[in-house]
A and B are shown apart, each in its own frame.
Chain A
Amino acid sequence: MTSGSGARQTGLIRQRTRSAWMFVAPMLVVLAIVALYPLAETIWYGFTDASLNSIDSARFVGLQNYLEWLDYGDGDGEWLGLLADERWWQAVWNTLRFAFISVSLETLFGMIIALVLNKQFAGRSFVRAAVLVPWAIPTVVSAKLWVWMLHDQFGIINDLMLTLGLISKPIAWTASPDTAMTAILIVDIWKTTPFMALLILAGLQMIPRDIYEAARLDQIGPIKLFRKVTLPLVMPAVLVAIVFRALDALRVFDVVYIMTPNSDETRSMSVFARENLFDYDNFAYGSAASTLLFLIIALITISFIYGTKMDLSGDKS
């Protein structure tokens, strides 16, 4: 390659880069307005004493919302602030547990459903549309629906299990601290598995058919075929799907808020933030919680992307 052609190409690339930026610019502006600005404002409010009643007269108070030593004046005192708030840490733990269990099971079930839907059979397109129904129902509606189905006196779930002899007396699913989280997980998994299945199915269909032809000629068994061929090839799609779901699961709000709004066992980080922002008039404290929520999600997502060496830039392909 001569230096002349290199210079021409650089000029072309520069021109392309310029037009690419021009096309991207409107989106960046919109993002800055609807995402960056509110985010910056939230972070700012986390360092103030803002309340909804007097949001304009908010004063800067430093890290007080995060951690502060309250001196009683008699040599004694205690730590206050989010980092010392047992309810906040309970909410963090609830959220992480919820996200881990729900995303794991949704990936597993989603994979199974996707493998089935990837096969040719009569009525496949109908089944594909049908499995999407739980995901299409607004969460508020489906959560309310499940609250009634899980009701200890009128609920159909208890009735079924009693009839089948699985339990001897009705379970108060959403009321009992032992089962509240399980109930929420059931609803979330029921609702979001179709989404995972769809994303994984898209990945499966990207795999070239002739690979399977070759495998068939080599007489490779189905389990080995799945482990050695399908899984590695579909993995990038699965990882992207997991990141999407994990982002959602870590922000979980509606299903918890509808089913068990004020339970210590199920309160998620988002529910905690909302409670302080609007119910308790602790706008600053809620903003600080939202900021931490943002940091925690960012941290988990970034370490997941690095840990799995996920390719988000698209350079490799």
Chain B
Amino acid sequence: MRNKTILALGLLSTMLMAQGALATDLSIVHGAVGRDHDVLRAALDRYEAESGNKVTIVSMPERTTDQFAQFKLWLSARNADIDVYRLDVIWAPQIADHFVDLTDATKDIIDDFSPMALQSQKVDGKLVALPMFLGGPALYYRADLLEKYGKPVPKTWEELTATAKDVMDEERAAGHTDMWGYVFQGAAYEGLTCNAMEWIASSGGGQVVEPDGTISVNNEAAAKALDLAATWIGGISPEGVLNYAEEDARGIFQSGNAVFMRNWNYAYALVKGDDSPIKDGVAVTVLPSDGTHSPASILGGSHLGVSKYSKHPEEAIDLVRFLNNYESQKARAIDSSRPPTLMPVYDDKEVAEKVEFIPLWKPVIENAIIRPSAPTKTSYNEASSEIWTAAHDVLEGKTTGTKAVAKLAARLKRLKGSGWK
């Protein structure tokens, strides 16, 4: 089957070469959420006018796990059809071998990029992808309700729990029976790994697997953080939160049925949108902590890498640089509310004016922590599934925090073996 694919690809590329003797045909693959596709197409149109090359967009499913499985199949077959890949922040260490090292090609511009984002894309000193846009979750809250009941914005998880309960009870007593206190992403998937890592890191429990590869999760602070989260289920959070992803949480919050929500920046444009019934009452802040440690937000985002199997690596690198230049990042920030990776864009007046939350997100990005994708290398997906399984077991009440972190540490240790590879 692989031979056939190679044959087909060969034929295809011959046809492509015959067609474009002067201009180069490139293709970029990405998953579209919200307005991503339109914004990218607009940027590509500018690039085509400027360079004379043509770029085709290959669209992918929305779920990143589905995209990644497809990408891995293409890359392991040395597919030369795709020149530029849009990669999720956690993928670089797992597929680094298939990408061009961008270190030299970006030497002149690299200092303006977010250091945290760059660090997440470096594997053994190789820059696998150039950061395109960032993502960071924040605490969304109903400022109108907090004001109504005279509550301050919670700074710690304990405060959040108490405030959510009070406001929820008052609202329910006032006849709003569908009201809940806090919604987040509790389904057994990558989103729960993010939530759990935030609870643990902001409570002083470490980063589960530290940047140097040590497994640190088996500690009391981590266990306590998970136990506290377990008290939310059926209390301030509906039981269904155990199967909620981002959009489920937003559905409840945006229909006015929750006081607090943890969600990524994409939700801001929507809950503040004209058709949102709560648009006037919503505000955002950084996620809580335990009071003694700093808050933690998981770093998300997408980055552009050039395939090693590309027939036109030079042009592909040019394209990556173009899509990440100031103008493109600014357009992306304004049109699709994606936080930029070029730090100067955060201070751009026009951006602040048109998308008020971009400057608001600067502290969120600054408090970001990276998921342990770099230290765990190709085992990251499995490590992450161990993390979300442990967290889910505690939330479900199947086990306690103390037992769960001990089991998690043991399972990670087995996965690590003699060393992460």
Query: Does B381 reach chain A (CB closer than 8 Å)?
Result: yes
User: Do A177 and B398 have beta carbons less than 8 Å apart?
Assistant: yes
Query: Does B396 reach chain A (CB closer than 8 Å)?
Result: yes
Instruction: Point out the residue from A52, A54, A151 that lies within 8 Å of B73, measured CB to CB.
Output: A52
How far is the CB of A172 from the nearest CB of chain B, in Å?
4
Complex Cα–Cα for A281 and B98 (A): 15
Complex Cα–Cα for A152 and B187 (A): 13
Complex Cα–Cα for A247 and B107 (A): 57
- B240 cross-chain contacts in A, Cβ below 8 A: 151-153, 170, 172, 175
User: Do B385 and A172 have beta carbons less than 8 Å apart?
Assistant: no
Query: Does A226 reach chain B (CB closer than 8 Å)?
Result: no
Q: Specify the chain B residue showing the minimal Cβ separation from A33.
A: B1
Query: Does A15 reach chain B (CB closer than 8 Å)?
Result: no
User: Do B239 and A152 have beta carbons less than 8 Å apart?
Assistant: yes
The winner among A55, A170, A172 for most chain B CB atoms within 10 A is A172
Query: Does B35 reach chain A (CB closer than 8 Å)?
Result: no
Instruction: Point out the residue from A153, A172, A177 that lies within 8 Å of B257, measured CB to CB.
Output: A153
Complex Cα–Cα for A55 and B241 (A): 39
User: Do B251 and A263 have beta carbons less than 8 Å apart?
Assistant: no
How far is the CB of B263 from the nearest CB of chain A, in Å?
16
Q: Specify the chain B residue showing the minimal Cβ separation from A154.
A: B251
Query: Does A262 reach chain B (CB closer than 8 Å)?
Result: yes
User: Do A172 and B239 have beta carbons less than 8 Å apart?
Assistant: yes
Within 8 A of B (CB), among A168-184: 170, 172, 174-177
Number of A-B residue pairs at CB separation under 8 A: 81
Q: Map CB proximity to B onto A245-280 as digits: 1 under 8 Å, 0 otherwise.
A: 000000000000000111110000000000100111
Within 8 A of B (CB), among A40-60: 51-55
The winner among B65, B241, B242, B243 for most chain A CB atoms within 10 A is B243
Instruction: Point out the residue from A54, A80, A153, A177 that lies within 8 Å of B238, measured CB to CB.
Output: A153
User: Do A176 and B188 have beta carbons less than 8 Å apart?
Assistant: no
Complex Cα–Cα for A279 and B251 (A): 28
User: Do A262 and B188 have beta carbons less than 8 Å apart?
Assistant: yes
- A55 cross-chain contacts in B, Cβ below 8 A: 76
Given A151-B240, A281-B381, do A53 and B72 touch, yes or no (CB 8 Å)?
yes
User: Do B378 and A51 have beta carbons less than 8 Å apart?
Assistant: yes
Complex Cα–Cα for A176 and B396 (A): 8
Q: Map CB proximity to A onto B86-122 as digits: 1 under 8 Å, 0 otherwise.
A: 0000000011011000000000000000000000000
Q: Specify the chain A residue showing the minimal Cβ separation from B78.
A: A56
Q: Which 10 A-B pairs have the closest CB atoms?
A: A152-B240, A175-B243, A172-B240, A175-B242, A278-B69, A262-B188, A280-B382, A172-B239, A52-B72, A174-B243
A residues touching B (Cβ–Cβ < 8 Å)?
Answer: 51-55, 80, 151-154, 170, 172, 174-177, 260-264, 275, 278-282
